[in-house]
């Protein structure tokens, strides 16, 4: 697929990229080469190739799904100005 200067100028405008008029011709050639390569990739039969998420096969480390309080309640509560019975004390806002 070959692109002309007008098409490259329109692509640059849509991408909000300022391309000088003198560079449109060379940029059109480069983009045409890229599109030609992509067309070649589309011809490859990938029907029996499973999708990949990574180049190297990796398994994610898993941790036990346990509910805990974190063990930091005293340190967290020490940040508040006033606490009572394991909670922050705040002014009453609803009557």
Q: Is the pTM of this model over 0.85?
A: no
Closest listed residue to residue 2, CA positions, set 26, 27, 29 = 29
User: What is the number of structural domains in the chain?
Assistant: 1
Please check whether residue 64 lies inside any domain of the structure.
no
Question: Domain range spanning residue 20?
Answer: 5-42
Digitized pLDDT (tens) for each residue of the chain, 95 residues in all: 789 999 999 999 999 999 999 999 999 999 999 999 999 998 999 889 888 877 887 888 888 888 887 888 889 999 889 999 989 999 889 87
Nearest-angstrom CA–CA distance, 5 and 44: 30
H-helix segments, the chain: 5-14, 21-42, 73-77
Please check whether residue 81 lies inside any domain of the structure.
no
Closest listed residue to residue 6, CA positions, set 19, 24, 20, 26 = 24
Please check whether residue 34 lies inside any domain of the structure.
yes
């Amino acid at each position: 697929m070959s692109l002309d200067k007008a098409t490259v100028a329109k692509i640059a405008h849509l991408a909000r990229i300022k391309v000088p008029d003198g560079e449109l011709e060379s940029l059109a050639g480069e983009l045409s080469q890229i599109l030609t390569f992509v067309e070649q990739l589309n011809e490859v039969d990938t029907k029996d190739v499973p999708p990949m998420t990574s180049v190297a096969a990796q398994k994610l480390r898993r941790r036990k799904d346990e509910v805990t309080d974190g063990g930091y309640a005293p340190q967290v509560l020490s940040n508040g100005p006033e606490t009572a019975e394991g909670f922050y004390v705040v002014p009453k806002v609803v009557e």
